[in-house]
Homo-oligomer: A and B are copies of this chain.
Amino acid sequence: MASLRDIVTSASINLLSAFGFLMAFAILRIQPFNDRVYFPRWYKKGTRSSPTRSGAYASKFVNLDCRTYLNFLNWMPAALRMPEPELIDHAGLDSVAYIRIYLLGLKIFVPLAVLSFMVLVPVNWIGDTLERAKDLNFSDIDKLSISNVPDGSKGFWAHIVMSYVFSFWTFYVLYSEYKVLATMRADYLASETRRPDQFTVLVRNIPPDPDESVSEHVQHFFCVNHPDHYLTHQIVYNANKLASLVSKKRDLQNWYIYYQNKFERTSKRPLTKTGFMGLWGTQVDAIDHYTSQIQKLNEEEAVERERVKKDPDAIVPAAFVSFKSRWAAAVCAQTQLCRNPTLWLTEWAPEPRDVYWDNFAIPYFELTIRRLITAVALFFLIFFFMIPIAFVQSLANIEGIQKVFPFLKPLIRIESVKSVVQGFLPGIVLKIFLAVLPQILMTMSKIEGYPSISALDRKSAAKYHMFILVNIFLGSIITGSALQQLKTFIDLPPTEIPKTIGVYIPMKANFFITYIMVDGWAGVAAEILRLVPLVLFHLKNTFLVKTEQDRYEAMEPGSIDFPVGEPRIQLYILLGLVYAPITPFLLPFIIIFLAFAYVVFRNQCKSTFMSRYGSESDKFDYFLLLLERNVVVCLCKVINVYDPNYESAAAFWPDVHKRVVIGLFISQLLLLGLLSTKKIGRNHFALLPLPVLTIWFFMYCKGRFESGFIRFPLQEAMVKDTLERATEPQFNLKAYLKDAYMHPVFKSSDVEKSDFTFEEEKSPLVATTRVATKLSPDVNSSSPVQSDA
């Protein structure tokens, strides 16, 4: 078993490797040729131009200014002076709320760690059970854990009392954070400028009408039932075929531009082949070929566009209905319209860029069937996922490979290669499964039929959380597959389950400490490096990028990976809560992880602040700034890297809250189970009120705060409406909303002509550099609000 020395060694190694990642990152990121990998968001915003266009040739690719290599850690102290409103302004409330999960963890665990080291560690240390039992294997850490307290000792009362203190402290932190987030969300929604989704309600399951089209039906229905408030509506088309045509055309256009560029550079008309990827077939003039191809596709597209617009079958029984005021939209979104509650279902329209267009046509019955199937599938995925993997692993052995790829035979015959393959192959199969798991879960959520990307993310996160809980947390404690665990749980009495798990908990402390260091510490550092996107970008840049637009797309900003990231933080919080009363020694490791991640994210604020108000004239300052951005602002990908797909205004916080409460509940049950094996009579029943209180606390918070994340209060809507009527009485809302909820394919054809921009960017609350000239066309722009200039 690991001694204290082992742990310290391991911790140093992991800290050093994290540091190494940071160094590598610092050096790589200030190299101008990596600029696009690490600052994609700034490019998309148009505030950063390609550094390869100016300066000496060498300095285009390698940063030669030595000063930038020093001082790269001086952001650290400054990182904690942060104006949060600024950050919300720049990165959105979602990102800030995400960072606050780390803060929540820190707020819980720092006092918990102090208290446990002050109270529980001495109690554990005094009861020297383990030293007396010389024949037992035990580590130094175990001396600080509950295992060192002799059975039947009065010392366990310390653990019981501290468990209450811990729970109440967690309640307090959770409650106040929920309150802060609810206020932040309300303030954010109140301060938002005009947005189409404030006026719009998504109506689904519109019943068919034999005499009217969907559009007429919607109009008549709302003219009757919201006579004073109905403004306009937009029907939803099933435009899958059209979307594929549009994407095909975009591809051809890129080739066309590429050959055009080539022609301009070489003054020689380029040739291409008509076959697949231009690799075979008749040779033709490339520019003419693509011109005609695009022409043909244009016609096809026009026909399809007409068909979709005219064919009644292409219309989905759903619509975006807009109202004259936010008040009316809030009313419509929260009320039931029709006697049959499965028809005319209303809900808040998601942001236009947040809409998931494929899920609008599902009738209510099918929706419930889909959810049933997904629930069953999720159960099997969680508890039986080892079966197919074991099957694949049994196939993917040396002999199997030899059969499929006979040419590898000589290589595999080498003994060392063989052993490596045999050792790693099963692990790799598992790794591949775990890597595609989030994608599988996302697909399941899509099948469940949620109409917005943010909802899909939240539901996937919930599924991943359950998977982690069963397969990583429980799977590590009770070694064995989830299936075996399921069998154990079914065969054990309900009181025995926490007992069985609880007994294992102290023994697994070392394992989890290592896990936190390897997966947590090094994981955060490794993620900074963005190794995969780095390699991908350079590969694409070298082989595939034909146009400026392609380079733009190759940046692949991505967004915060909420469905994967959040459940992982929850695992650390769960570990902390479980071990706080049992092995307090684990807490500092979690605190370091949380603090590391938090400081890093926090720093972005300072950078944002400087980039706006600081002097950028001085070249040294500029490099300093660049450095800061490189090292940290890129760490805090929120600013520089992530281009959020949507802004849900922290709609995920109720889920975060719920999962921390689940963690707390589990930790209480496990402590109860552990103590019931310690021969302290029936004293462990003193812990029984805690889980009940936890459930009550959850329900209280749910009633107190949750509706703030689901519904929009009429009072707020009325205030905004009144304000707007006073300041802009002449505003033409109908024109503003006209094309807000158009399927993206209907826009893409004229996207380069029109001047799509966010309303908020036209009149930002704080002057930013975001309104600078745009370098790249807004092809991917998912902010389709037509300006009403």
Is A323 interfacial (CB-CB < 8 Å)? no
CA distance A714 to B376 in the complex (A): 36
Known: A368-B699, A372-B696. A341 touches B707 (CB 8 A): yes
Chain B: minimal CB distance from A633 (Å):
34
Is A734 interfacial (CB-CB < 8 Å)? no
Residue of B nearest to A224 (CB): B718
CA distance A708 to B337 in the complex (A): 11
Chain B: minimal CB distance from A506 (Å):
24
Complex partner residue of A712 from B336, B365, B706, CB under 8 angstroms: B336
Complex partner residue of A331 from B335, B338, B713, CB under 8 angstroms: B335
Complex partner residue of A704 from B342, B490, B700, CB under 8 angstroms: B342
Query: A372-414: contact bitstring with B at CB < 8 Å (1 yes, 0 no)?
Result: 1000100000000000000000000000000000000000000
Query: Is B334 a contact partner of A336 (Cβ separation < 8 A)?
Result: yes
Query: Is B715 a contact partner of A339 (Cβ separation < 8 A)?
Result: yes
Complex partner residue of A705 from B341, B376, B491, B706, CB under 8 angstroms: B341
Query: Is B334 a contact partner of A186 (Cβ separation < 8 A)?
Result: no
Residue of B nearest to A368 (CB): B700
CA distance A448 to B368 in the complex (A): 33
* Inter-chain contacts of A342 with B (CB < 8 A): 703-704
* Inter-chain contacts of A700 with B (CB < 8 A): 365, 368
Query: Is B336 a contact partner of A713 (Cβ separation < 8 A)?
Result: yes
Query: Is B225 a contact partner of A339 (Cβ separation < 8 A)?
Result: no
Is A77 interfacial (CB-CB < 8 Å)? no
Is A635 interfacial (CB-CB < 8 Å)? no
Chain B: minimal CB distance from A155 (Å):
27
Known: A336-B714, A699-B368. A492 touches B490 (CB 8 A): no
* Inter-chain contacts of A711 with B (CB < 8 A): 335-336, 341
A300-341, CB < 8 A from B: 327, 330-331, 334-341
CA distance A131 to B705 in the complex (A): 65
CA distance A437 to B327 in the complex (A): 48
A474-495, CB < 8 A from B: 489-495
Copies in the assembly, this chain? 2
Is A364 interfacial (CB-CB < 8 Å)? yes
Residue of B nearest to A185 (CB): B339
* Inter-chain contacts of A705 with B (CB < 8 A): 341
Query: Is A364 a contact partner of B718 (Cβ separation < 8 A)?
Result: no
Residue of B nearest to A333 (CB): B335
Complex partner residue of A339 from B339, B372, B492, B708, CB under 8 angstroms: B708
Query: Is B704 a contact partner of A337 (Cβ separation < 8 A)?
Result: no
CA distance A71 to B676 in the complex (A): 71
Is A686 interfacial (CB-CB < 8 Å)? no
Is A779 interfacial (CB-CB < 8 Å)? no
Query: Is B704 a contact partner of A364 (Cβ separation < 8 A)?
Result: yes
Query: Is A703 a contact partner of B331 (Cβ separation < 8 A)?
Result: no
Known: A493-B490, A495-B491. A713 touches B338 (CB 8 A): yes
Query: Is A715 a contact partner of B491 (Cβ separation < 8 A)?
Result: no
Query: Is B708 a contact partner of A341 (Cβ separation < 8 A)?
Result: yes
Known: A364-B703, A692-B376. A718 touches B494 (CB 8 A): no
* Inter-chain contacts of A716 with B (CB < 8 A): 339
The DSSP consensus for interface residues of chain A is helix
Chain B: minimal CB distance from A697 (Å):
9
* Inter-chain contacts of A340 with B (CB < 8 A): 708
CA distance A327 to B339 in the complex (A): 14
Residue of B nearest to A227 (CB): B718
* Inter-chain contacts of A338 with B (CB < 8 A): 713, 715
* Inter-chain contacts of A344 with B (CB < 8 A): 715
Query: Is B493 a contact partner of A491 (Cβ separation < 8 A)?
Result: yes
CA distance A527 to B338 in the complex (A): 42
Query: Is A228 a contact partner of B225 (Cβ separation < 8 A)?
Result: no
Query: Is B339 a contact partner of A713 (Cβ separation < 8 A)?
Result: yes
Chain B: minimal CB distance from A72 (Å):
44
CA distance A704 to B495 in the complex (A): 37
Residue of B nearest to A712 (CB): B336
Complex partner residue of A225 from B334, B490, B712, B714, CB under 8 angstroms: B714
CA distance A330 to B713 in the complex (A): 15
Known: A225-B718, A365-B700, A718-B225. A339 touches B490 (CB 8 A): no
CA distance A692 to B708 in the complex (A): 33
Chain B: minimal CB distance from A330 (Å):
7
* Inter-chain contacts of A489 with B (CB < 8 A): 494
Query: A684-708: contact bitstring with B at CB < 8 Å (1 yes, 0 no)?
Result: 0000000010001001100111111
* Inter-chain contacts of A228 with B (CB < 8 A): 228
A705-757, CB < 8 A from B: 705-708, 711-716, 718
Query: Is A337 a contact partner of B703 (Cβ separation < 8 A)?
Result: no
CA distance A490 to B496 in the complex (A): 9
* Inter-chain contacts of A334 with B (CB < 8 A): 334-336
Residue of B nearest to A376 (CB): B692
* Inter-chain contacts of A372 with B (CB < 8 A): 692, 696
* Inter-chain contacts of A713 with B (CB < 8 A): 335-339, 341
CA distance A671 to B665 in the complex (A): 33
Residue of B nearest to A189 (CB): B339
CA distance A372 to B368 in the complex (A): 32
Residue of B nearest to A707 (CB): B341
Chain B: minimal CB distance from A560 (Å):
27
The 5 A-B pairs of least Cβ separation, nearest first, read A341-B707, A372-B696, A334-B335, A336-B711, A368-B700
Enumerate 8 A-B pairs (CB-CB under 8 Å) in ascending A order. Answer: A225-B718, A334-B334, A334-B335, A340-B708, A341-B713, A342-B704, A344-B715, A364-B704
- 9 new A-B contacts, CB < 8 A, other than A342-B704, A344-B715, A368-B699, are A224-B718, A225-B718, A335-B713, A335-B714, A339-B715, A342-B703, A490-B493, A491-B493, A493-B493
Chain A residues with a Cβ under 8 A of chain B:
186, 224-226, 228, 327, 330-331, 334-342, 344, 364-365, 368, 372, 376, 489-496, 692, 696, 699-700, 703-708, 711-716, 718
